[in-house]
Structure 1
Amino acid sequence: MLTIFGFHTDDNLYRKHAQILQRSAEKFDINVHFSEFSKDDWQKIIAFKPVFIAQMRRKLEGPILFVDADAIILKDIRPFFESIQEDIAVHYINGNRLISSTILINDTPNARLLINEWERRQLEQPERWDQVVLQELIDEWVEEKKVTLNKLPPNYTFIFDTSRRTYGDSVEPIIEQLQASRDKRWIDKYRSRNRFHQWLMRIPYLLKSTRKIVSRHNVVNNRAEKLGIDVRISIDDLI
């Protein structure tokens, strides 16, 4: 049975996003295993994502699906993912660049070896982007026939705005990435400003940076509402 797993930090923004993702999964009776970490712990742990994923692969049984916490599941994904026989499944943008926001790891010896090796390599070179290290590893092992790969279609790593420009209107989002990291940039800007400018930034649609954030929040809240999820994201979650 498929289990979705992931992690999030303990701030209001990511906690609410994780709640939306969890409730969207539960709408389709999908097992969910999420872990919450403090921001300080998250920043201190070297190679956090590969280490966490490797630990979960050792801990959980059956096929497991890592999904970034700021995503939402819009349809029942179980039939699709439970039919995948390959060791690992991940999306490559235009067939070239791996995106690690959605990763299926089957419960096979080769998949376990692959994830353990990703953890080991990342710990050796923690300054490198983890998804680049993962792509190099997967491409190498696929060529050497050490592991089997299923390249996921873009429906399962669909970024709510930019994927439409990349893939056109023919792609229907199924797991949609809602990009909470964009709010982080707004938060950093907000905290660096004086009180008057902070007041201006809190007024919806007054400043371009705030309009973009409010527009993203509207997308998130619209997706949640359509699934009957009563969690809402707002500017108040950021300050």
Structure 2
Amino acid sequence: MAEAQPRARGPVRKILAALVWVAALATLLSLGTWQVQRLAWKEKLLADISERRTEEPVTLEAIEAMERTGGDIEYRPLSVTGTFDHDKERHFLATWNGQSGYHVYTPLLLADGRYVFINRGFAPFEKKEARTRGEGQIAGGQTLSGLAREKLDGKPSSLVPDNDISKNVFYWKDLDAMAASTGIAPANLVPFFIDADSATNPGGLPVGGVTQFEMPNNHLQYALTWYGLALAMVGVSGVYIWRARR
């Protein structure tokens, strides 16, 4: 009887090993399939963005109506008229063509008394303060065109620093915090941003048209990696079983 226990443990180990092998293979295959699905999603997203960018600009009211009904407003062209309130501009840490600095977000006062934050473009570190680029602080009524950009629901990652509101330095685009720090009430705020187009600002700053359209799309590479690992595991296991039987 004492010898039966070690012999019984042998089949149990084989069953457990087989279950672990099947679970590992299923995990690798599911990860590969998920990346294939993500690839299809990313390609459709990039195609949609490319198509939207070529559409004729619509009014701010049309974008607002779309946003209220749950429509996707991201990257949709529009035009808007108002007056910049340069004293309330906010600064988002960014880079442009290899240079570090800020994107200048300035609230545009609309005829109905509301504000919409406009990403006017890029200014280098030494031109952060509005007084250093006075030519670009255009006054009076302005009509500009750009792209609608949805506001973020929260910090994109725990690795992103908290916004330094006291120094007017934003590490992520928190529209509500930007507005609150300038005294703009939520009821007077359009609930999305606008990226201004590349029209030249007086004095050349801020540099307009800084919207980034390129997105990382490595899903095919990831899918091939997971499927490759699954294939390698099957191959190694097959060789092991073949040698064991010989």
Tell me the TM-score range normalised by the shorter chain: under 0.3
Structure (1 or 2) with the larger CA radius of gyration: 2
Normalised by the size of structure 1, how large is the TM-score?
Answer: 0.24
Task: Please report the TM-score for the alignment, with normalisation by the length of structure 2.
Answer: 0.24
